[in-house]
Structure 1
Amino acid sequence: MTAKVVIRQPQPVMEVRDSDEWGSGICDCCENVPECCFAFWCCPCFACKTSRDYGQNLCLPLLEIFGGCIPPITMSMRVSMRERYGIKGNICRDCAYATFCPSCTWCQMSREMRRRKIQVLLIGAKNT
Structure 2
Amino acid sequence: MAAVQTAQTPLIDWNTGLLDCFEDVSTCCYGFWCCPCLACTVSGRFGENTCLPLCDIITPAVFSACITMRASMRNRYGIKGSLCKDIATGCFCTWCSWCQMHRELKERKKGFTLRKYKKIYRYNK
Q: Which letter maps to 1:63? A: C
- 2:14 equivalent to 1:22: yes
The answer for unaligned runs of 5 or more in structure 1 is 1-17
1:82 and 1:88 in contact (8 A); partners too: yes
Instruction: Give % identity.
Output: 46
SS at match of 2:123: coil
Structure having the larger proportion of residues in strand = 1
- 2:29 equivalent to 1:37: yes
Map Cα deviations across residues 50-107 of structure 1 (whole Å, 9 max, x no partner).
1111111111110010233641111000000000110110011100111111111011
From 75, 83, 92, give the equivalent of 1:83: 75
- 2:58 equivalent to 1:59: no
Specify the alignment match of 2:64 in structure 1: 72
- 2:123 equivalent to 1:124: yes
After TM superposition, the score normalised by the length of structure 1 is 0.77
Q: Which runs of 4+ in 1 moved over 3 A?
A: 67-70
The answer for unaligned runs of 5 or more in structure 2 is 1-9
Map Cα deviations across residues 1-57 of structure 1 (whole Å, 9 max, x no partner).
xxxxxxxxxxxxxxxxx7611111111000111211111121111111111111111
Q: Find the aligned partners of 1:78 and 1:34 in 2 and give their Cα distance.
A: 20
Q: Which letter maps to 1:124? A: Y
Q: Find the aligned partners of 1:79 and 1:24 in 2 and give their Cα distance.
A: 16
Choose between structure 1 and 2 for higher RCO, CA contacts under 8 A separated by at least 6 residues: 1
SS at match of 1:124: helix
Specify the alignment match of 1:4 in structure 2: none
